[in-house]
Amino acid sequence: MTAATHVLVLNSGSSSVKYQLLDMADGARPASGVVERIGEEGGVADHAEALRQVARELDGQGLGLDSPRLAAVGHRVVHGGTRFTEPTLITDVVVAEIEKLVPLAPLHNPANITGIKVARQLRPDLPQVAVFDTAFHASIPEAAARYAIDAATAERYGIRRYGFHGTSHAYVSRATAALLGKEPAEANVIVLHLGNGASASAVRGGVCVDTSMGLTPLEGLVMGTRSGDIDPAVVFHLQRVAGMPTDEIDTLLNKRSGLLGLCGANDMREIGRRMGAGDKEAQLAFDVYVHRLRRYIGAFTAVLGRVDAVAFTAGVGENSAAVRAAALDGLAGLGIELDPVRNAVRASGGRLVSAATSRVAVAVVPTDEEFEIARDTYALARA
């Protein structure tokens, strides 16, 4: 009999479905792909159709949803609210509860739910697991999770800091401890997830104690197209003085701000090229991005008290030696010293780039959210 060791990871986003099939027995990834442009011209009609296309692509490789090797399906779900603080085996009740969280993540959770529903129709007998982007941050103490606003209003509308990118922060903090030759429980790590979306987290002994994203992914670091932290009164000002409707401000802050808003480009590679050519707007965008990053490194150093490592991950964190160098420049006083030569070397695996004299290790760790979701899913499916 063939052992069922495959886990299918589905990431149903607003306009795409990404999938990856992982073999938990040997770490192999026998299939992966993406169905893009859902609901757009030239793309598939909707998420249900996208899921059926994923099923067909897998079928074509003899690895379809009816494969005896498939042990479980793991679904990335963006928002778990306060209800879901760990990976959860999906039942009808769980689906209904995730649906109740849609107001907290109106752009993301509906797509995740469709992915779950279609996959369950295709294989009702198979264990399916929801892995929440917020779950790793559920351990953040109230002092860090609460906003200082009217308590009854916050309670009534679920307003608190939830945090996102949790699977990445969990994976990278654990991998960083391993790079140091420590158990997760022995290491305090600041994780900087710098992709198109970006977030920082403070992880004490494997437990998240603070993070930069909040009620939504808009708070915190400067991102590709999101502003990150701003004075909330900017919103009132735009409403009152510019007469901007709420949806327009939402779009402005989420889609037309950040690096893009500052200089017209959201790709750090292009910004680097333009800086090299003496472009002042690109330089300013970079400087604002880095300034915010340094603020969070300082803040989370204070939150943790003792820091063992600062870990960079995701597209920018893994690839931009310039961002890493600028973010950590002059931080010897905090015990953080980069080795410029190691930092400049391009490599694909997890590695340390700190100077031998650095009290705090600096790590570059490729994130692997699919692995983290598969690991959680497999553990629950076999329990």
CB nearer to ligand ADP: give 80 or 258. Answer: 258
Binding-residue pattern over the window 189 to 218 for ligand ADP, x denoting contact by CB under 6 A: ------xxx---------------------
* Edge-to-edge strand list for the sheet holding 198-204: 207-211, 198-204, 188-194, 309-313, 361-364, 351-352
Write down the least CB distance from residue 350 to ligand ADP, Å.
15
Contact at 8 Å (CB) between 263 and 284?
yes
Tell me which of 23, 46, 66, 133 is the catalytic residue.
Answer: 133
The number of CA neighbours under 13 Å toward the Cβ of 195 is: 14
Q: Which helix (H) or strand (E) holds 381?
A: helix 369-382
Write down the least CB distance from residue 29 to ligand ADP, Å.
17
**Could you say whether residue 101 binds ligand ADP (CB under 6 A)?**
no
Write down the least CB distance from residue 339 to ligand ADP, Å.
19
CB neighbour list of residue 292: distance below 8 Å, 6 or more residues apart? 220, 221, 222, 228, 229
Stretch that binds ligand ADP, among 6-14, 36-44, 82-90, 264-272 (CB under 6 A): 264-272
CB nearer to ligand ADP: give 337 or 369. Answer: 369
Burial zone of 8 (CB within 10 Å; 0-12 exposed, 13-18 middle, 19+ buried):
buried
> Residues 93-124, buried b or exposed e (16+ Cβ, 10 A)?
ebeebbeebeebbeebbbbbbbbbbbbbebbe
Alpha helix ranges (H) inside 101-188: 109-122, 142-145, 151-157, 166-179
Chosen residue from 8, 177, 316, 381 binding ligand ADP by CB under 6 A? 316
Chosen residue from 74, 115, 163, 224 binding ligand ADP by CB under 6 A? 224
Chosen residue from 87, 206, 315, 350 binding ligand ADP by CB under 6 A? 315
**Could you say whether residue 267 binds ligand ADP (CB under 6 A)?**
yes
Q: How many residues touch ligand ADP (CB under 6 A)?
A: 13
DSSP codes, 319-379:
H-HHHHHHHHTT-GGGTB-B-HHHHH---SS-EE-B-TT-SBEEEE----HHHHHHHHHHH
Cα–Cα distance measured from residue 352 to residue 213, given in angstroms and rounded to the nearest whole number? 26
Write down the least CB distance from residue 351 to ligand ADP, Å.
16
Chosen residue from 126, 295, 319, 355 binding ligand ADP by CB under 6 A? 319
Contact at 8 Å (CB) between 224 and 257?
no
CB nearer to ligand ADP: give 71 or 316. Answer: 316
Token pair for 219: 């708070």
CB nearer to ligand ADP: give 114 or 168. Answer: 168
Token pair for 92: 């009808």
Token pair for 333: 């006083």
How far is C-alpha 40 from the geometric centre of its chain's CA atoms? 25
CB nearer to ligand ADP: give 222 or 314. Answer: 314
**Could you say whether residue 5 binds ligand ADP (CB under 6 A)?**
no
Write down the least CB distance from residue 255 to ligand ADP, Å.
14
Asked if 279 is an active-site residue, the reply is no
Cα–Cα distance measured from residue 11 to residue 31, given in angstroms and rounded to the nearest whole number? 14
Stretch that binds ligand ADP, among 138-146, 260-268, 295-303, 335-343 (CB under 6 A): 260-268
Write down the least CB distance from residue 164 to ligand ADP, Å.
11
CB nearer to ligand ADP: give 257 or 320. Answer: 320
Active centre residues (catalytic): 133
Q: What residues line the site for ligand ADP (CB under 6 A)? A: 195-197, 224, 266-269, 314-316, 319-320
